[in-house]
Structure 1
Amino acid sequence: MSDTGGTSTNERIEVQRVVAAPARAVYDLLTDPQGHVDIDASGMLMDASGERPRAVGDSFVVHMDRDALGDIPDLHEYDVTVVIESLVPDREVSWSIIGRVRPPIGHVYGYRLEPAEPDADGRERTLVTSFYDWSAARPEWKAIFPLIPEQSLKATLGILARTVVRRGRAG
């Protein structure tokens, strides 16, 4: 596993990491509602409920605790609905968030998966790109972004790499 860095623009962050697992295993983790909680580096995701998404528009609920960021003292625990924006098996998953703010803010999180060179023993590896895009966010909300810094996305990729390998050994 290796970190291949990241890129940022004024309205999008992307980070990448090669993960020692096939794309199918990474995709399975990323489409598992509990998987989102398992790999979260922000500390905000506490639990999830709902079914694994099967199509664009499917959703599940994530139970959050904003105290982990310490940026909004009165927010504490709340729920958000994750709405799937793209879902391409073994290639991509992205989602928007519906929370308390109406209409929704308009930011999108997601992952792209690409084959990477096999390891020295011929085992499959996957280049995982995590992205966080607020280019379509409503103008009145853009000033608060990024809520999650690039370093948190990199840390989440590290946790993803560890988690998908452990799940593979347990499965």
Structure 2
Amino acid sequence: MSRTDTRIDATRLIPAPAADVFAVLCDPQGHVAIDATGMLQDATGEPVSAVGDAFVVHMDREALGDRPDMGRYDVDVTIHDLEPDRRISWTIVGTVRPGIGHVWGYELEPAEGGTRVTSYCDWSEAREDWKHVFPVVSETALRGTLGILDRTVRRGYPRAADRP
């Protein structure tokens, strides 16, 4: 795990091919399946394959217990960067409009025994009036999500072979 003033991340070796890991990360339901915070409740949309693709995630902030005024809400997820089997990142627009400008993502690197996966949140380009709220989730939550990602990929959901 590492942290700077504008980014947190966590890394884990997942004993699976990058394509299988990437398939989960491109699937809106995959995001819900691996979320360690409990905030992601459901998603609407198709798996993404290009920058600009989008889907909706149905959130529940009560899971974090930090903002009881937020409750349930939706966020629009738009793919910011996508290189198959190497990286995927996205921005979100939710109750705050225009969006805050932070980026969530994953970097995948081939490694002995599988794929080294880094999950991150970067708020270096976030609006100045919102930078004080970061990080919204902890490094522990990022690490937990990577553990669930590992388990999810090992159980075969979804497999790269199932991608369009």
The TM-score range, normalised by the shorter chain, is over 0.9
Q: CA–CA distance in 1 between the matches of 2:14 and 2:123?
A: 26
Which has the larger displacement, 159-168 or 133-142?
159-168
Give the corresponding residue for 1:28. Answer: 23
Q: CA–CA distance in 1 between the matches of 2:27 and 2:158?
A: 17
Give the Å deviation of 1:53: 1.1
Residue from 122, 140, 147 that aligns with 1:151: 140
Query: What secondary structure does 2:155 align onto?
Result: helix
Letter matched to residue 130 of structure 1: S
Query: What secondary structure does 2:125 align onto?
Result: coil
- Count of aligned pairs between the two proteins: 160
Moved beyond 3 Å, runs of 4+ = 168-171
Q: In the alignment, does 2:2 pair up with 1:7?
A: yes
Q: CA–CA distance in 1 between the matches of 2:53 and 2:26?
A: 11
Q: CA–CA distance in 1 between the matches of 2:147 and 2:13?
A: 10
Q: CA–CA distance in 2 between the matches of 1:78 and 1:153?
A: 21
Q: CA–CA distance in 1 between the matches of 2:14 and 2:5?
A: 27
Give the Å deviation of 1:23: 0.1
Give the corresponding residue for 1:88. Answer: 83
Give the Å deviation of 1:169: 9.9
Q: Which runs of 5+ in 1 are unaligned?
A: 1-5, 119-124
Larger radius of gyration: 1
Q: CA–CA distance in 2 between the matches of 1:32 and 1:49?
A: 10
Q: In the alignment, does 2:68 pair up with 1:73?
A: yes
Q: CA–CA distance in 2 between the matches of 1:43 and 1:79?
A: 14
Give the Å deviation of 1:42: 0.6
Q: Which runs of 5+ in 2 are unaligned?
A: none
Q: 1:128 to 1:81 in 2, by over 3 A?
A: same
Give the corresponding residue for 1:121. Answer: none
Q: Given the two structures, how large is their TM-score scaled by the length of structure 1?
A: 0.90
Letter matched to residue 63 of structure 1: H
